């Protein structure tokens, strides 16, 4: 059965997109703080977290690969979307004019796959794209990716598998690490080896470096594919 591996990148919406009541709600925790410096620090912290919430941010890139053929796409938002298309071997880079176009393109590909593999997709990527798609009225072609947690089909979340569903909590033998740490431990080239991390996405967006985001997201997916192969060969089936 065909297996799709994907990852998303997100970026916070400008604060001015939210009305006074919404902003008051977002920053209500800061009103409990009297110290001006601590208050500003908390406000900056909340602003950073806004890129992780689907009601305050948007999907700016989705990279995806066929786990077997390693062919795929990295679709991303770009101001110069008409002239920026290109490919890197079996992977096509597809710039999009807006998030609606991006999500539509993703779901059009996803409908052709039986299974999906992610790293922390159950906790982040999948609910994020479900909610963003709903907000933008983009039809979702796969609605079963958040089904029974203790199954690896149709959705294999490697963050769940490598912690055996958080069997030992935060500090036990199977504690969770990030993708970069797992890659280095298993001898896989880290997606962060080029010096870009998910924390840089907002800055890269502001600088108009859209293709760099697409390339970084693709490195994440390639690393996830390699980690999936190791899990499948060495750990799949452990209960």
| pLDDT tens profile 68-82 | 999 999 999 998 765
| pLDDT tens profile 212-228 | 999 999 999 999 999 99
Three-state SS at 110: helix
Residue 192: per-residue pLDDT: 83
Three-state SS at 141: coil
Long-range contact set of residues 122-126: C-beta below 8 Å, sequence gap at least 24: 122/146, 122/149, 122/155, 122/157, 122/159, 122/160, 123/157, 123/159, 124/52, 125/6, 125/7, 125/8, 126/155
Compute the distance between CA of residue 49 and CA of residue 54 in angstroms, rounded to an integer. 11
CA dihedral for 128, 210, 190, 91, sign (positive or negative): positive
Burial (CB count <10 Å: 0-12, 13-18, 19+), residue 190: middle
Cβ count within 10 A of residue 135: 14
- Closest Cα to residue 153, out of 67, 217, 70? 67
Which positions of the chain have pLDDT values less than 70? Answer: 81-88
Compute the distance between CA of residue 59 and CA of residue 72 in angstroms, rounded to an integer. 18
Residue 85: per-residue pLDDT: 54
> What angle, 0 to 180 degrees and rounded to 10, lies between the N-to-C axes of helices 99-110 and 126-135?
120
Residue 200: per-residue pLDDT: 82
Provide the residue ranges of all domains of the chain, joining segments of one domain with +: 3-9+59-234
Residue 196: per-residue pLDDT: 75
Give 10's strand partners.
Answer: 59
- Cβ-proximal residues to 198 (8 Å cutoff; 6+ apart), any chain: 9
pTM to 2 decimal places: 0.94
Find out whether 191 and 216 touch, Cβ atoms under 8 Å.
Answer: yes
Residue 202: per-residue pLDDT: 85
CATH number for the segment(s) 3-9+59-234: 3.30.420.10
- Closest Cα to residue 159, out of 125, 196, 195, 113? 125
């Amino acid at each position: 059965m065909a297996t799709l591996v994907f990852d998303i990148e997100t970026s916070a919406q400008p604060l001015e997109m939210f009305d006074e009541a919404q902003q008051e709600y977002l920053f209500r925790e800061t009103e409990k703080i009297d110290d001006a410096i601590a208050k500003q620090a908390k406000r900056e912290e909340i602003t950073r977290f806004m890129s992780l919430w689907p009601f305050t941010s948007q999907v700016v890139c989705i990279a995806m690969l066929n786990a077997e053929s390693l062919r795929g796409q990295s679709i991303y938002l770009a101001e110069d979307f008409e002239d920026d298309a290109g490919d890197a071997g079996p992977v096509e880079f597809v710039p999009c004019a807006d998030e609606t176009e991006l999500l539509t393109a993703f779901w059009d590909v996803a409908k052709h796959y039986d299974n999906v593999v992610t790293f922390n997709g159950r906790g982040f990527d999948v609910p994020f794209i479900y909610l963003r798609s709903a907000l933008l009225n983009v039809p979702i072609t796969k609605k079963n990716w958040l089904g029974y947690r203790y199954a690896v089909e149709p959705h294999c979340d490697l963050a769940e598998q490598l912690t055996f569903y958080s069997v030992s909590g935060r500090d036990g033998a199977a504690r969770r690490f990030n993708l970069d740490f797992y890659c280095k431990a298993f001898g896989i080239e880290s997606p962060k080896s080029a010096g870009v991390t998910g924390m840089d996405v907002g800055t890269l967006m502001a600088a108009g470096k859209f293709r760099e985001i697409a390339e970084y997201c693709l490195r994440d997916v390639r690393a996830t594919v390699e980690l999936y192969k190791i899990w499948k060969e060495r750990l799949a089936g452990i209960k």
